[in-house]
Each structure stands twice: as structure tokens, then as C-alpha cells.
Structure 1
Amino acid sequence: MKVKVKYFAIFRELTNKREEELEVKEGATVKDLLEALAEKYGKKFKDIVFNGAVSDRLIMLLDGVNIYSLNNLETKLNENNVFVILPPVGGG
């Protein structure tokens, strides 16, 4: 099944893409998707985004909902989900 991944800020620089569609197996989770992305984009992606665990400073949305309010890394993916990775945001 296909999942769209959208990148912003530093993640666009890491991937050289604004977005992409990835093929994932039926029953895949957010963790499976992040492992596939880490494998595809290498050490820098792993260091910043996912190296077995996710930085709690990152914002990850699945169809507009923060994964932390769903089932975190064990959230199941569905056909045509949109997954967004956002860097930490500050303001003042």
C-alpha cells in the first residue's frame, strides 16, 4: 500500500524532496515507515529523526493527528495516509 510522506525544513534538506510516496506492506506501522526512511536516507536521518527511538522534540502527524495522541510508533498505517515530519518549533 502507498503512504505519502511530506518533509519540511531540515528534512527537505536531508531528503532533497518536499514529499514522496512510499510502498509499505499491509499492516505496517509508523515505526516500520521510519525504519524504511532511515534505511533509505542514512546516518544523518537516523541521527536526527529515528535511530530506534524518536526524539520527543519532533512533531509527527498522520493525517493531521499527532502520532503521540494515537498509538505512537505502533500506529497502523492505511492506504493513502499522509505522514508529516516537522522539526521543533519555537516562538516568543
Structure 2
Amino acid sequence: MGLKPLNDRVIVKRKDQEEKTSGGIYIPDSAKEKPQAGEVVAAGPECKTVKDGDAVLFAKYAGSEFSVDGDELIIMREDDILGVFA
């Protein structure tokens, strides 16, 4: 990927959506919600709390979605990240 975020921006790839519930019921596309978790693809030079490869939880309406080479990505401020999975 040839995109580098500036300042405190972070590029995140959203986690795959669940196809069925834990009980085995398949979820139709119209009822699916986009996951609020993902993996940091690239972090800007001023990011202090996250780094590339971190699994993160972010705010529901955070950032701007875009597509690069067929990958759906989100660019957001570091402040929109709510937590890092340990």
C-alpha cells in the first residue's frame, strides 16, 4: 500500500463481519452491523499509543472509509481509538 498517514492519523482495516450468531443462525446482509474492531495498517509519525499491527477498538462513526487495491480501509485520528486489545 502506498499511503502513509500524516500527523496523528491511523489507517485501520476493519475486522471481518460475522456471518452467523453463536447459536448458528445466519445473519442477512440487511441486519449486519459493521464491526468496531480492526487492525492498524499504518500509524502516523505523531501516534504515541498505537503502532502497526495492533488490534484496536474504535468509535462507531469514527473516521472516513475509502478503498485501496480492493481493501476497505478507514482513516481516523488516534483519539477515535477507544482501546488496544492485549
Instruction: Indicate whether the TM-score tops 0.5.
Output: no
Q: Which structure has the highest strand share of the two? A: 2
Report the TM range for the smaller structure's normalisation.
under 0.3
Q: TM-score, normalised on structure 1? A: 0.26
* Higher percent of residues as helix: 1
Q: TM-score, normalised by structure 2?
A: 0.27
